[in-house]
Structure 1
Amino acid sequence: MKNTASVIDASVKDPIKTEKDVICALKTFTTVYRVKIENYSQLKHSYDLVINCGTFHLAGYEWTVDYFPRLFYFTNEVGLRIRLCTNINTSLKLDIQINLIDPSGRCLVVAKKKRTYYWRNDGEPITIMRKTKLESSKYINDDCFSFECIVTVTKWSHEPKYSEEEVSFW
């Protein structure tokens, strides 16, 4: 008897067709967010004050920057928090650099942190420096000071992979 299995098997095509091909890639997004705090003398003695310095969008998410004139009740430190305002379904890795800006525009790096964000409202305060050091520095001028946050988000991104036959402009 002649064996025909190999001939038949070779001619049968796979009946399962993929629904979609996806490429997963690690992507990074960066922004610089600048803030000017005015009337510093009115808020420097506050113990429970948090100043919302606005929001920005990065990597498809909304973020807010909060300034703490006194980071914790029992400390003499000022700080910042970069807080995630939108829901996420995967973790986000952030590289954060905080710079003080003097009146001439020169920057002093005061903090560099790596953080992972897991959910909405995530974000813990970052110490900038001791309040007494800030107040005796050239960075407070005319009762105000400026800082910038350089934020880099790294996240997994997936994009559909299309063949040339699938792409049509008509």
Structure 2
Amino acid sequence: MASSSSSSSTWMMEKASGSHLFKIADYSLAKEIGVGNSIRSAPFTVGGYYWIVECFPCGDEKDSADCIGLFLTLESDVDKNNVQVFYTMNLVNLLDQTGPPSEPLTNADVFSKDNCSWGWDRFMRRADLEKSRYLKDDCFTIYCAVTVPKAPRLQVGNAGAVAAPPSDLPQHLARLLESGEGTDVTFEVGGETFAAHRCVLAARSPVFRAELFGSMKERRARCIKLDDMEAAVFKALLHFIYSDKLPSYMEKLHKESSTMMAQHLLVAADRYGLDRLKLICEDKLCREMEIDTVANTLNLAEQHQCRRLKAICLNFVAAPRVLAAVIETGGFEHLGISCPSVMKELLKKITNMTDELRSSKKRKIDKGGKRS
């Protein structure tokens, strides 16, 4: 009796993709900042790297002063490694969804420590933008899509094979926490009580493991009181420990409340050795950076050894127009008292930026309008 078999294989490139919308309000003021001066977006992450969109409303150099320049800049430290990136930029009109976006421009470039910024010095003539539908109510929006290729891989499969569903362990653990079944330790936090499972806490956190199964007094306690944490923060911390993600309600919070929660959770994550949660909070704080909260975030970044978050905060604050506003916040005064070394770093960064402007050092631009 004849037998037959079939098989298949697929070559694919692992890749990470993401996008960022950068809205520039008050265009009439932005175009007065002068040639060679840029407006920078908030940092965003794609492929494990931090990126920003830079817009030069008056051009990157004098010979492109009649044009708007757009560039993608790598903010992460890459040492000797190079990062190949495919990226696209175009303008969109968020107020008028009936029309198409502008014609996208696409590049593929290699970003490195010495060549960290690429793009177009003549993305669009300023006169054309001012007559276009993309400038509405003195605002326009840039859409940037980024793809970072990873290592290629070969996927081998047999026809008719059944793929296993994704893991649902976090959902089961989250339901276990919600049900309260089998709990054997209680925490009193901010006047509220939270029941949990010692084994789960110990498996997820080295600090909880030492407290609950080591020689500390909490090993024998049925109820542990925490006086230095808010109830809402501990509730979110427990949710992450069981489900490996932030509570969904955090996405619905007002931006200021969301930032404050991320700041408190970062402190809690560092305290309990939850490195993944700490990184998630860092990323959230990078994306939600605002003038009113950046000084407090910079303070936390210094105290809890968040090197990348600290660097991005310093870049944000050092911008001349931003610095003047940040100085007026209460958080800036507290920063000066609690972290004088950070103030020295900030002063040095501002001095370097001023010297760079005075000497009119510009990034090199190649024949295609790209710069290194």
**TM-score (normalised: structure 1):** 0.70
Select 1:30's aligned residue among 8, 17, 25. Answer: 17
Is the contact between residue 52 and residue 67 of structure 1 (CA under 8 Å) also seen in structure 2? yes
Mind listing any 5+ residue stretches in structure 2 that lack a counterpart?
Answer: 1-11, 154-202, 204-372
1:74 matched residue in structure 2: 63
Select 2:88's aligned residue among 97, 100, 105. Answer: 97
Where relative contact order (Cα < 8 A, 6+ residues apart) is larger, the structure is 1
Query: Which structure has more helix as a fraction of its residues?
Result: 2
3-state SS in 1 of match to 2:127: helix
Q: Residues of 2 paired with 1:131 and 1:153: CA distance?
A: 30
Is the contact between residue 85 and residue 121 of structure 1 (CA under 8 Å) also seen in structure 2? no
Q: CA deviation at 1:64?
A: 1.4
Q: Residues of 1 paired with 2:47 and 2:137: CA distance?
A: 36
Q: Count residues with an aligned counterpart.
A: 135
Q: Residues 12-161 of structure 1 correspond to what in structure 2 (within 5 A)?
A: 26-45=13-32, 46-71=34-59, 72-75=61-64, 76-88=66-78, 89-102=80-93, 103-105=95-97, 106-119=100-113, 122-126=116-120, 127-156=122-151
Which letter maps to 1:27? E
Query: Which structure has more strand as a fraction of its residues?
Result: 1
Q: Residues of 1 paired with 2:91 and 2:40: CA distance?
A: 17
1:17 matched residue in structure 2: none
Is the contact between residue 49 and residue 68 of structure 1 (CA under 8 Å) also seen in structure 2? yes
Q: CA deviation at 1:110?
A: 3.5
Is the contact between residue 39 and residue 143 of structure 1 (CA under 8 Å) also seen in structure 2? yes
Q: CA deviation at 1:138?
A: 0.9
Q: Residues of 2 paired with 1:48 and 1:90: CA distance?
A: 28
Which letter maps to 1:63? W
Q: Residues of 2 paired with 1:87 and 1:156: CA distance?
A: 20
Q: Decide which moves more: 59-68 or 106-115.
A: 106-115
Deviations 1:106-139 (A, max 9, x none): 4223411111112276113423211111111111
Deviations 1:55-94 (A, max 9, x none): 1011111111111102222221111111111122432211
**TM-score (normalised: structure 2):** 0.34
Q: Residues of 1 paired with 2:104 and 2:28: CA distance?
A: 21
Alignment CA distance shift 1:58-1:157 (3 Å) = farther
Aligned residues: CA RMSD = 2.3
Q: Residues of 1 paired with 2:116 and 2:27: CA distance?
A: 27
Is the contact between residue 61 and residue 84 of structure 1 (CA under 8 Å) also seen in structure 2? yes
Mind listing any 5+ residue stretches in structure 1 that lack a counterpart?
Answer: 1-24, 159-169
Q: CA deviation at 1:43?
A: 1.8
Q: Residues of 2 paired with 1:119 and 1:98: CA distance?
A: 22
Which letter maps to 2:20? Y
Q: Residues of 2 paired with 1:26 and 1:119: CA distance?
A: 24
3-state SS in 2 of match to 1:132: helix
3-state SS in 2 of match to 1:108: coil
User: Identity across aligned pairs (percent)?
Assistant: 25
Alignment CA distance shift 1:119-1:26 (3 Å) = farther
Q: Residues of 2 paired with 1:92 and 1:155: CA distance?
A: 9
3-state SS in 1 of match to 2:28: helix
